[in-house]
Amino acid sequence: MTKITIGVAGAGAMGSGIAQVAASAGHQVILYDTQQQTIGNALSMIKTSLQKLAAKGRLKESADEVLERIKPAQKLNEFAGTAFFIEAVIENLAIKKSLLSEVQRVTGTNCILASNTSSLSIAALSSGCPHPSRVLGTHFFNPPVLMKLVEIIPGIRTEESVLHESTGLIRSWNKLTVQAKDTPGFIVNRIARPFYGEAIRILEEGIASASTIDHAMKSLAGFKMGPFELMDFIGNDVNYTVTETVWKQLFYDPRYKPSQTQRRLAEAGMLGYKTGEGFYKYVDQTAVVPPPSDNIQLLRKIVLRILVMLINEAADALYLRIASKDDIEIAMTSGVNYPKGLLKWADEIGIDKVVDELLKLKEWYNEERYRPSVLLRKMAESNKTFFN
């Protein structure tokens, strides 16, 4: 693919990572931030990252050669002449919308504009742009240098040619792309909500401790990290905000209702690993984990409850045409490293069993939170599976 100039706005962890990926693919990169110190820190981090990759033999050229392709910028007019622009600034609709609009006035119609938003509406973000047909979402996962998955999200006005060109470009960066409808949370952040939310509900009800829930999901289900470990790693402030954003954008659907428990942790500054305390305490950067229960019946109960809620979300995403069956499976295994695709997991458990468990939960709690997907109910009635 022809090497072009890539613009990146936001020199934080995501923006600097995306800049490194683009430069490593041979492109000239303009990295913008309003703070000179932030850009300096980003270039230093990129250099260290490139040197580590070079030492492992994972760069085709020297770290300095890649770094030379990244030009720092502090004025938006320096994006004139870029062919592809990605914003990776704070997850705030007004700020992102204003930035995209300003940049498009500089670049004109020759540039494709992309947002790295994890949950905001592409239609809303592009609505302030003179040419919204040139705007789409490209959601990279953290850290962008290591994570292969990128969700591609066309907005309601996005031209087909823009979608095709953007997908081809990002694939040429050795990334794995999936396409999602412009809906709250897209694929991963929508489907993954019960991994956190249902785990917290189990904790709040006193059914099991955080360490027991994490132990169940790792030892029996094969997840690399339990939900509470992962929330502490992501940051309870970040994880809560994503959940709240998806919940509000889906018209307060109870399936996505945030937790007061996590909200209080965020308010108290107990954000997890980065502050030394969250669901767990951290000493010398290591979690102090209370001994979990080894009651096998309890562990199986925990796993089944969280899994059926995750499967329900995956099935609904397919039913509502948010993404294809294959892209849903790829997104969850590559984006959040699930041990297997949720639709395949549904087939293994038995779709009738998944529906029965959801109906039991709905009857017991009398909450719409547990309503089974229409697709799952139809499939259970006709004895169908997602795969052969």
**DSSP state letters, 309-341:** HHHHHHHHHHHTTSS-HHHHHHHHHHHS--SS-
For 295-307, the pLDDT digits (tens) are 999 999 999 999 9
Compute and round to an integer the Cα radius of gyration of the chain.
22
Residues of the chain with CATH 3.40.50.720: 5-179
ω before 143 within 30° of 0 (cis)? Answer: yes
| pTM for this model (two decimals) | 0.95
In the prediction, which pLDDT does 46 show?
Answer: 98
Q: Annotate 262-281 with b (16+ C-beta within 10 A) or e (fewer).
A: bbebbeeebbbbebebbbbe
- Residue tagged active-site, from 16, 27, 139, 312: 139
* Contacts with 173 (C-beta within 8 Å, 6 or more apart), sequence order: 21, 22, 24, 25
pLDDT at 324: 98
Whole-Å CA distances, 271 to 88, 237, 239, 240, 263:
22, 6, 10, 10, 10
d(CA 231, CA 90): 19
Residue of 49, 91, 115, 151 marked catalytic: 151
Of 118, 126, 209, 373, the active-site residue reads 118
Which phi and psi angles does 2 have, rounded to 5°? -60, 135
Question: Given this model, what pLDDT does residue 2 score?
Answer: 80
- What DSSP assignment string belongs to 174-238? T-EEEE--S-TTTTHHHHTHHHHHHHHHHHHTTSS-HHHHHHHHHHTT--SS-HHHHHHHH-HHH
**Unique residue bearing structure tokens 């095709």:** 164
Which tens digits make up the pLDDT trace of 243-286?
999 999 999 999 999 999 999 999 999 999 999 999 999 999 99
Helix, strand, coil % (nearest 5) of the chain? 55, 10, 35
DSSP letters of 124-153? HHHTTSS-GGGEEEEEE-SSTTT--EEEEE
Give per-residue pLDDT as tens, 6-28: 999 999 999 999 999 999 999 99
Q: Please report, for residues 84, 134, 149, 289, 372, the alpha-carbon distance to residue 176 in angstroms, rounded to integers and kept in the order given.
A: 18, 22, 5, 35, 30
The total of other beta-carbon atoms located within 10 Å of residue 39's CB is 20
Average pLDDT over the chain, rounded to whole?
Answer: 97
- Catalytic site residue 139? yes
Q: CATH 1.10.1040.50 region(s) of the chain?
A: 189-388
Predicted local confidence at residue 388, as pLDDT:
81
pLDDT, residue 157, reads 98
The pLDDT > 70 percentage for the chain reads: 100
Which residue matches tokens 């030379």? 68
User: What tokens appear for 211 in the block?
Assistant: 């360490």
So what's the pLDDT on residue 1? 66
Active site residue 151: yes
Query: Cα(274)–Cα(288) distance, rounded to whole angstroms?
Result: 14
What is the fold of 189-388?
N-(1-d-carboxylethyl)-l-norvaline Dehydrogenase; domain 2 (1.10.1040)
Strand pairing class (149-154; 176-179): parallel
Distance CA 346, CA 355 (A): 10
CATH of the domain spanning 5-179, picked from 3.90.850.10, 3.50.30.30, 3.40.50.300, 3.40.50.720: 3.40.50.720
| Average pLDDT value for residue range 79-101 | 96
| Structure tokens, 125 | 């973000």
pLDDT above 80 (res 151): yes
Could you say which of 126, 189, 209, 239 is catalytic?
Answer: 189
Instruction: Tell me: pLDDT of 319 over 70.
Output: yes
**What mean pLDDT do residues 152-163 have?**
98
Rounded Cα distance, 149 and 376, in Å: 27
Can you give the pLDDT at residue 51?
Answer: 96
